[in-house]
């Protein structure tokens, strides 16, 4: 039980040292992440459609 208490105490100590982002920074980071995810999703949709179309074209030969 003593090890668990020490571990939780160490976790709390480290959490106090952590610098959390400000609201503006957090908003900026969120916009960057969401934008990146949307762009990557569109990219993979286009690649998937292209590969699917190639397979359909090959099968129709």
The pLDDT of residue 51: 97
Q: Can you tell me the distance from the alpha carbon of 37 to that of 5, in angstroms, rounded to the nearest whole number?
A: 40
Q: Which long-range contacts (CB under 8 A, 24 or more apart) does 5-13 make?
A: none
Summarised one tens digit per residue, pLDDT across range 6-56 is 999 999 999 999 998 999 999 999 999 999 999 999 999 999 999 999 999
Return the pLDDT at 1: 83
- pTM of the model as a whole: 0.66
| 19 conformational bin, left if phi > 0, alpha if psi -120 to 50, beta if neither | beta
Contacts of 51 by beta carbon, 8 Å cutoff, 6+ apart:
none
The residues, any chain, with a CB within 8 Å of residue 21's CB and separated by 6 or more, are 29
Q: Where are the domains of the chain?
A: 1-60
């Amino acid at each position: 039980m003593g090890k668990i208490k020490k571990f939780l105490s160490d976790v709390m100590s480290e959490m106090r040292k952590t610098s959390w982002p400000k609201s503006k920074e957090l908003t900026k980071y969120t916009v960057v992440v969401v934008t990146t995810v949307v762009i990557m999703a569109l990219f993979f949709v286009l690649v998937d459609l292209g590969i699917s179309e190639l397979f359909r074209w090959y099968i129709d030969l």
